[in-house]
A and B are shown apart, each in its own frame.
Chain A
C-alpha cells in the first residue's frame, strides 16, 4: 500500500533524534586530531594517485618489497582522504572523518528507534554502540564502512515485502562501497542474509531482494582489483594478525570490550525473556562470531543489535513506553546541535597528534641514505613525512606477509639468526623503541646513537 508523502515538518520531527545525535557525534569527532599510523600511508597513496592520475599498483614506499604488486582496492577511499587533505589539510581530514561518523550515528539512531523504541532506551544503546566503534574512528577508508553498514541495515530493515524502488539503491551503493573499502564484503553478506530470510519466510515475494543481491555481487567486480580485497578480508577473518591491537579478540576488561559484552548479554538475556525472530538470529549470530574474531569487528554486532534491542527492551518496561520528548523540545535541540556541528568544523585540528611518532628523529634520518629498519607502527608516518627514506615495513601489512614480516619480528625480537637478517637486508640504520631487544643488543655492540628521544620513546642507531 502506498503511503502519502509526509510534510517536511513531520519528516524533520521524525529525524530530530538522529540529527541531534549525529550533530553531537560530529562535534566530538571533528575535535579529535589524527593519530593513526595508517592514515599516513593511506594519504600518501591517495596523494600519489591524485598527482599521477593513475592507480598505484605496486609498492614504491619500502626497501623490502619495492616494486611488488600491491592491491588498489580501496583507491576511492584513499582518494577521498587525500582529496580532503589537499583541500583543507588535516582539518579537511577531520571534517571528512566527523562527517562519516555523524552519518553512522544518524543511521544507528534510526536502527535503535525501530519498532517504537523509547528514546531513553535507544539513546544509551546508541551511545554505547558508538563508543564500541571508537576503535575504528581513525582516518582510513574503513570509516566509509562504519557509515555505510548502518545505512545499509536501515535500508534493508525498512524495505517492504516484494519489489521496492529502494532496492535499486543497493547496486550503486555497492559499486561505490567496493571501491572505498573491503568492508563491502560484510555488506554483501548482510544483503545475502536478508535475501535468504526473505525467501524462507516470504517465498516468492523475497525474490526481488535475491535478484538485487546478485546484482550487488556483480557490481563489486567493477573494481581495479576485485579479488585482492576479498583475499585480504579472508586473511583478516581466518588468520587475524594478533600483534595488532585492533585485531586482538574482544577483551571485556577494557571499556570497549565491556560495552561489547554488555550488548552480548543484553541480546541473549532479552531474547531469553522475550524471544526473537529468524532474521535476528540469522543476522546477529554471524556478526557475533565476526566480533569474536577481532576487536575492530565488535561494532558491527553492536550496531545491528541496536536494531532489535531498542524495541525489545522497551517492551520489557511497557509502563514507560509512551514517554517521548515533545516535538517543540526535540526539534530545537536537533537544530541547535546541527548548527553547532557545522560551526565546530571551523575548529577542526589543523595538525595531527604526533606524540606517538618519532617526529624529532626525521632530521637525523634525512642525513643518511642506507636501508632503514623502522618500527612497524611508524612505517606509515615515515612514508608520509620522510618519503626519501624507504621504510622496512609499515601498516599496509599484506605486502609484507610471507617473509618480510617474519624477518622483521625475528630481528626486533632478537631471535636466532638476527645478524644474518641484518646483513641480508643490508640494514645500516634503525629507528626503534629503545626497549626492543635488537636496539639493546646493537647499542651494546657499539652501534652509534645518532639521535634519541629524551622521553625514551625512540632511538636512531647506525652501524659503527
Chain B
C-alpha cells in the first residue's frame, strides 16, 4: 500500500463535500423537532428581538430577577428568526443547513488531506456519524459548525499561514453563538504556537492571530464574564445532565467515540510519524472530548483529516502481516470544474431547503406534558420537572417555571431545592412550604409523585408520562 502525503492539494473540488453535505443535510430533516432546550432558546431569542437582551431571568419564579447568561444570544436570535420566517419548518431548514455545513467541512478537510475521494469519504464517515448525536436545534450545533470551520482553516494554514487571518472573525461570531468558542480559541492558540515553532517567517501572523482572537472574545454582551461561564462549564460539568455525563462506551455515541479514538491510536502506531501539527490539533481536543458526552464530536471532527491521510498506511501495515498486498488504485482523480461545484452547491441547497420545507414541522411533543397545559394554574407556584422547563416557557408563558434547561441561573439554592423535592429529601415539605409551591407537574415514577399519590394529594390531570398535583393547603 502506498503512503499518501499529509496534504496533496494540487487541485481541490468542493463537489464531493457539497454532495455529502446535501445528502446528510436532507436526511437530517427526517428527524422531528423536539429538543428540550430548543424551546427556551426560542423564547430567549424572541425576547432579545422584541425587548432587547435580557440580563436577568423573566421566565421562572424561583430565580426571577436574578442574572442569566447571555453567551448564546446570537444563536438564539438566529433560531428564532428561522422560526419566525418559516415556522417549525424554518427550524428544520436551519438545522439541515448547519448539518450540511458540518458534513461538507468534515469531508472537505478529509479530502484536503487525502486526494482519493472514496478514502476521504470513508475516513469522514465515523466523524459524521458521531456528530449525528449533536444534530439538535440549539446554538451548540452552530458551535460545532464553527469548530469544523476552524479545523478546516487550521489544516489549510499548515501550508498557507495567512489563512489564519480569518480565525479572529470566526472566533468573534462563535463567541456570540455558543460557549464552545473557548475550545476554538485554545486550539487556535496551540496551532499558532506550532506554527511559530515551525515557520519563523510566520511568527508575526501567529502572534497577531492569537492576540486578535483573544481580543474579539470580549466583543460580546457578556464582556469578560463570558470566560467564567465557559470555564465553569468545562471544569465542573454538571454530570446530572445526561449530555454532560462522562462518555459511556455502552451507549451508541460512546462506542463510536471509542472506535474513533482507537482508530487514531492504531493508526498512530502503525503509520509513519505525523507532524507536530497533528499532535497540536488532536491531543488537546481529545482531552476536551473526554470530559463530557456532548464534547465527543469535537475529536471526531478533528481526527477525520488525520485518519484520511494516515489510516490507509496503517491498514496496509496490518494487511502486510497477513501477507495481503493491499494497494490503493494509483490514479489521478479528475477534479470537476468550478461550474460543477456551483451546480452541486445549488442542488444540495435545493435538496436541503426542499426537504426541510416538506418535512413534518410540528414538534414531537410525546416527551412533554402537552395534555396538562390547559390545566396549569397561571402565576408562580408550579414545581415542574427539569426536562419540561423549556417546553413550559414556550407553551405556557403564563405559568413561570421552577427550573429549566438553562441550569446555570439555578445553581445554588434553587437547584438544591429542586433536587430535594424530586428526590424526596428529608426536608421536602419544608422546601414546598418555604417556596410557596401550589402545584407539582412531575413524572409519575418520581419519588415526589409517588409520595404525593400516597398522601392522597389531589390530581388535576395525569397520563402515563406526567401527573399534575395540587399541593394541599397552598396559597
Contacts and interface: CB of A to CB of B under 8 A. Distances in A.
Interface of A: 200-201, 238-240, 242, 248-253, 261, 264-265, 267-269, 271-278, 280-281, 284-285, 288-289, 292-293, 413-416, 418-419, 434-435, 437, 439-441
Contact of B426 (A251, A292, A440): A440
A249 B268 contact: no
A239 B322 contact: no
Given A281-B265, A292-B247, A414-B424, A265 B321 contact: no
Main secondary structure of the interface of B (DSSP, over half): helix
Nearest to B284: A265
B41 to A, nearest CB: 26
B426 A435 contact: yes
A268 B258 contact: no
Contacts of B243: none
Max count, chain A CB within 10 A of own CB: residue among B262, B317, B428: B262
Interface string B244-258: 001111100010001
B317 A293 contact: no
Contact of B266 (A269, A272, A285, A414): A285
Contacts of A274: 273
A249 B426 contact: no
A200 B322 contact: yes
B447 A277 contact: no
B221 interface: no
B283 interface: yes
Nearest to A293: B249
B264 interface: yes
Q: Name, among A242, A253, A419, the residue most crowded by chain B CB atoms within 10 Å (CB to CB).
A: A253
Q: At the interface, is chain A mostly helix, strand, loop or mixed?
A: helix
B454 interface: yes
Contacts, number: 130
B283 A268 contact: yes
Contacts of B258: 288-289, 292
A202 to B, nearest CB: 11
B321 A271 contact: no
Nearest to A441: B451
B447 A437 contact: yes
Given A285-B265, A416-B444, A441-B424, A292 B249 contact: yes
A258 to B, nearest CB: 9
B450 A264 contact: no
B445 A415 contact: yes
B284 to A, nearest CB: 8
B450 A418 contact: yes
B232 interface: no
30 contacts: A200-B322, A238-B250, A240-B250, A242-B248, A249-B249, A249-B254, A250-B246, A250-B290, A252-B287, A253-B291, A268-B264, A271-B265, A272-B273, A272-B278, A272-B279, A272-B283, A275-B269, A275-B270, A276-B268, A278-B269, A278-B317, A284-B269, A285-B265, A292-B249, A293-B250, A414-B450, A415-B447, A416-B445, A440-B426, A441-B454
Given A253-B235, A278-B321, A281-B265, A414 B291 contact: no
B461 interface: no
Given A268-B265, A271-B269, A272-B278, A434 B321 contact: no
Contacts of A289: 249, 258, 262
Given A275-B273, A278-B321, A413 B447 contact: yes
